[in-house]
Structure 1
């Protein structure tokens, strides 16, 4: 499996971390560190130590085949999104786009503007369309400090000291960061305090999509006003807090305006045989919800 990438590898990395044998980057790439963790797990459990995730190793890790998910927003297709995120593997888009669209539909954000906002945010945050974790960098780690120490005492993130920076680093499609965000949005999507006790849940595609939808919903009024004013920089700032990734965000959003239709069809849960579609009006700041 060396060299493989994608949702299956990310799920493997999370399972290995839960088993106490993996602490490297959660990036969905099966490299040397992932292989070594698999071998360590196999050794501890009396399996053949070959670094290959066969049926016995997979079962012991609690891994199951990822089942395809049906999108509730069929008018937004994988092909459209490949134009918006040209650097993302098509397999990642195929696996994760339905989760994102379904999460947006669940909170009433399945209109063109907010779908574009979400997809452009994904390109700016995780261009691979995989809910990975933030990597160590000079922006989060001091030259002589432990990983993510610059986040440890960020009171604006709700962090409370040593280890909080690493525990609540950016994760998921929107790179949710900080103890407060993990608490608020974990509660909002029905996880109670489980996201605080197990932050790796943010790597699950459905959970990552729901967390992103929750964050966008919480900031919906300001985001819609910014988009109505064509102020993409402000829309980006409402998620990122700055201008990091603005070029990618803008490129994805403007491309999306060309490839995603103004009328969005949404399949209503429980009625898979019918769709409804309506023209999406451009909101004004006064009319923002």
Structure 2
């Protein structure tokens, strides 16, 4: 398991109120981690931090610094620094192409908008909402807006991480491959690398 003592000391030194330095990563430690990486106030990400404290251990994401740093860094990029749990909608030309995309399971009129990106990993498409919802026990296909709820936003991301084998990639140092698994390409790869590096700096 990851030793959080050094991380906690560095967070306290950086001005984050996590309580006692005890090596136990609870909601305050995770909240401070998210706030530090995204450079936002702790209260702005408190609900996400609380959820991550619950789900990161369940999915083994806290087992190594590489896993946790890559997870948080990728999530920070996908959510605009943990500001957006729902995709900003224009619609842009790319978003217009969500409509009717068989690979996303968008088979009904309006699915592109209905199943737009949500959560800290921007879950997208009817098929992905259905599959993730079935795995985590939430009716996401029937109620897609649930994916915006902070606890579910984190849970779907942890589920995605596990379903795509991203812990193994993180442990192997294949960080750009993680980007491709999440994004389908290399969109925002420079910013992703910066977020991941910032997170890794706490553990180094």
Counterpart position of 2:66:
113
Counterpart position of 1:82:
35
Counterpart position of 1:92:
44
Task: Report the TM-score when normalising by structure 2.
Answer: 0.78
Paired residues of 2:48 and 2:150 also in contact (CA < 8 A): yes
Give, in angstroms, the shift of residue 130 of structure 1: 4.1
Give, in angstroms, the shift of residue 84 of structure 1: 1.5
Counterpart position of 2:151:
206
Could you list the runs of 5+ residues in structure 1 that have no partner in the other structure? Answer: 1-71, 142-148, 262-289
Counterpart position of 2:88:
135
More helix by share: 2
Q: 1:182 aligns with which of 129, 136, 145?
A: 129
Once residues 182 and 79 of structure 2 are traced to their aligned partners in structure 1, the CA distance between those partners, rounded to angstroms, is 13
Once residues 82 and 113 of structure 1 are traced to their aligned partners in structure 2, the CA distance between those partners, rounded to angstroms, is 18
Counterpart position of 2:103:
156
Counterpart position of 2:183:
240
1:104 aligns to 2:56 (yes or no): yes
Q: Per the alignment, do residues 233 and 106 of structure 1 end up closer, same or farther by CA in structure 2, a change over 3 Å counting?
A: same
Q: Per the alignment, do residues 76 and 115 of structure 1 end up closer, same or farther by CA in structure 2, a change over 3 Å counting?
A: farther
Counterpart position of 2:25:
73
Once residues 164 and 239 of structure 1 are traced to their aligned partners in structure 2, the CA distance between those partners, rounded to angstroms, is 20
Counterpart position of 1:219:
164
Q: Per the alignment, do residues 118 and 210 of structure 1 end up closer, same or farther by CA in structure 2, a change over 3 Å counting?
A: same
Paired residues of 1:169 and 1:178 also in contact (CA < 8 A): yes
Could you list the runs of 5+ residues in structure 2 that have no partner in the other structure? Answer: 1-23
Once residues 54 and 110 of structure 2 are traced to their aligned partners in structure 1, the CA distance between those partners, rounded to angstroms, is 33
Q: Which has the higher contact order (CA 8 A, sep 6+)?
A: 2
Counterpart position of 2:11:
none
Give, in angstroms, the shift of residue 131 of structure 1: 5.0
Once residues 84 and 53 of structure 2 are traced to their aligned partners in structure 1, the CA distance between those partners, rounded to angstroms, is 15
Task: Count matched residues.
Answer: 178
Q: Per the alignment, do residues 168 and 234 of structure 1 end up closer, same or farther by CA in structure 2, a change over 3 Å counting?
A: same
